[in-house]
């Protein structure tokens, strides 16, 4: 039976010769991930099921990245519960303040996930790892608890949608613009419980940072997972960062897809998603006089060194508008160190911005940039629902690092090509 890359990974981990869309399977997981919000929620079902140890101390990964350093007494208690559990279980891959980073940037950087893996995470943006040609998907805390116990999880095999990419990006266009264009075209439920498979000659022009951004936001189209083919870019990244051998899977030429969608990268321009949905996409050039109070550059979507380099190239020699707060959040400690070495942090500070410790922070309205009533932020994060970043009467505009940095300078939503 001809299969897609997603179907092949699921079949291999379920120890089946083949699988078909809609089939229910139980598959072994290579990595089960949780954070300081979702791990505490999983502890009750874990204990109620008789849990006294996890199935594998190396494969259960915990990253304390949402409210760390603690934002409140409640968040401090969640951190304590997470630390106590990690210590009790002897988790090998436990990341606390000083070693932690934003989880979906940290795990690829450390080689904890790799090509061919099956990864689940008690966080919806676990789909990020499809950039590395892995199957990865978010699950609920109860499913995560079961996986901690058994090393397995139930899945319904998704149908796949094939996105054939051609051409290459123009000036100031990146992976964020690509995924915003797709979500704008198909809608936030356009890939509901499907695998979004990216293919075509245009894939070769995408950097790994581009791919991580695109896969990260597959969930914003309702997808079960996003996934890229294994190619020289994947191999170079996996060989540099990997901790263990990996397995390469490829879609068969005659594999069946629910839809085929063509995207010409040459035709893309800098985009934004206006409140209150990631599908409310407009060219940045068409948004006029939309004032912003805060700019956030970071998150699991766009907090990598490539993103900071883009932002710094726009900010260098300029000043942030007087009414704007610019908050830059490198996604991991090593990215912070690299940004210091390259002078990026100095550029941001000289422009009038501030730099945070790695954290999800403002993305979910947690800390380090909560919005007040009537305020508007432009952010490189992934969601802009009502109240996402603070007060329910605040607004969030989603953008790439280039658009965000340009907007920080002008004080209004700005296409970087006009600077």
Q: 10 Å Cβ neighbour count for 89? A: 18
Give the mean model confidence (pLDDT) for residues 375-380.
98
Instruction: Read off the pLDDT of residues 253-309 as tens digits, 9 standing for 90 and up.
Output: 999 999 999 999 999 999 999 999 999 999 999 999 999 999 999 999 999 999 999
pLDDT the model gives residue 1: 80
pLDDT the model gives residue 248: 97
pTM for this one? 0.95
Instruction: Read off the pLDDT of residues 300-351 as tens digits, 9 standing for 90 and up.
Output: 999 999 999 999 999 999 999 999 999 999 999 999 999 999 999 999 999 9
Domains and CATH numbers, the chain: 5-263 (3.30.499.10), 276-418 (3.30.499.10)
CA dist 149 and 24 (Å) reads 20
pLDDT the model gives residue 7: 98
pLDDT the model gives residue 253: 93
Q: Give the residue among 385, 222, 361 at the shortest CA–CA distance from 296.
A: 361
CA Rg value for the chain:
20
Name the 3-class secondary structure at 255.
coil
pLDDT the model gives residue 35: 97
Instruction: Read off the pLDDT of residues 184-240 as tens digits, 9 standing for 90 and up.
Output: 999 999 999 999 999 999 999 999 999 999 999 999 999 999 999 999 999 999 999
Examine the pLDDT at 173 and tell me if it is beyond 90. yes
Q: DSSP E strands: which ranges in 306-387? A: 325-328, 354-355, 376-379
Question: Considering all CA atoms of the chain, what is the largest pairwise distance in Å, rounded to the nearest integer?
Answer: 62
Examine the pLDDT at 51 and tell me if it is beyond 90. yes
Q: DSSP secondary structure string, 378-404?
A: EESSS---TTTTB-TT-EEEEE-HHHH
CA dist 105 and 338 (Å) reads 14
Contact by Cβ (8 Å): 406, 414: yes
Q: Provide the sign of the torsion angle of the four alpha carbons 110, 116, 120, 125, taken in this order.
A: positive
Contact by Cβ (8 Å): 412, 295: no
Contact by Cβ (8 Å): 292, 378: yes
pLDDT the model gives residue 62: 98
Give the mean model confidence (pLDDT) for residues 390-396.
96
Tokens of 297: 């550059």
Q: DSSP secondary structure string, 177-221?
A: HHHHHHHHHH-TTTTTTEEEEEESGGGGGS-HHHHHHHHHGGGGG
pLDDT the model gives residue 144: 97
Name the 3-class secondary structure at 13.
helix
Q: 10 Å Cβ neighbour count for 243? A: 12
Q: Give the residue among 234, 174, 164 at the shortest CA–CA distance from 201.
A: 164
Instruction: Read off the pLDDT of residues 97-152 as tens digits, 9 standing for 90 and up.
Output: 999 999 999 999 999 999 999 999 999 999 999 999 999 999 999 999 999 999 99
Tokens of 196: 């979004």
């Amino acid at each position: 039976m001809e299969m897609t890359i997603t179907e092949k990974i699921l079949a291999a981990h379920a120890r089946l010769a083949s699988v078909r869309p809609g089939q229910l399977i139980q598959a072994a997981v290579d990595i089960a991930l949780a954070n300081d919000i979702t791990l505490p929620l999983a502890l009750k079902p874990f204990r109620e099921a008789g849990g006294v140890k996890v199935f594998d101390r190396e494969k259960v990964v915990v990253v304390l990245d949402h409210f760390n350093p603690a934002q409140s007494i409640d968040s401090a208690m969640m951190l304590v519960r997470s630390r106590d559990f990690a210590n009790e279980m002897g988790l090998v891959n436990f990341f606390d303040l000083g070693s932690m980073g934003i989880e979906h940037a940290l795990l690829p950087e450390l080689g904890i996930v790799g090509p061919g893996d099956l990864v689940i995470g008690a966080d919806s943006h676990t789909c990020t790892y499809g950039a590395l040609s892995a199957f990865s998907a978010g699950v609920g805390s109860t499913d995560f608890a079961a996986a901690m116990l058994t090393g397995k999880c139930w899945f319904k095999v998704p149908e796949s949608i094939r996105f054939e990419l051609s051409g290459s990006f123009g000036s100031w266009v990146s992976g964020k613009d690509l995924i915003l264009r797709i979500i704008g075209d198909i809608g936030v439920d356009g890939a509901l419980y499907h695998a979004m498979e990216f293919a075509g000659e245009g894939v070769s022009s995408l950097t790994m940072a581009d791919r991580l951004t695109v896969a990260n936001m597959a969930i914003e189209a309702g997808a079960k997972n996003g996934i890229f083919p294994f190619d020289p870019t994947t191999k170079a990244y996996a060989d540099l960062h990997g901790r263990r051998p990996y397995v390469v899977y490829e879609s068969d030429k005659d594999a069946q897809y629910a839809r085929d969608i063509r995207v010409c990268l040459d035709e893309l321009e800098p985009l934004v998603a206006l409140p209150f949905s990631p599908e409310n996409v407009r060219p940045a050039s068409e948004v006029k006089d939309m004032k912003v109070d805060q700019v956030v550059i970071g998150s699991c979507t766009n907090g990598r060194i490539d993103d900071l380099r883009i932002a710094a190239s726009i900010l260098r020699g300029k000043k942030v508008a007087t009414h704007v707060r610019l908050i830059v959040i490198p996604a991991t400690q090593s990215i912070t160190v690299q940004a210091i070495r390259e002078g990026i942090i100095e550029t941001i500070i000289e422009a009038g911005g501030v730099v945070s410790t790695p954290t999800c922070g403002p993305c979910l309205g947690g800390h380090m940039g909560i919005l007040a009533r009537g305020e508007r932020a432009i952010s490189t994060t992934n969601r802009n629902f009502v109240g996402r970043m603070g007060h329910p009467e605040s607004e969030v505009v989603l953008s790439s690092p280039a658009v965000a940095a340009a907007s920080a300078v002008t004080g209004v939503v700005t296409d970087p090509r006009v600077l």
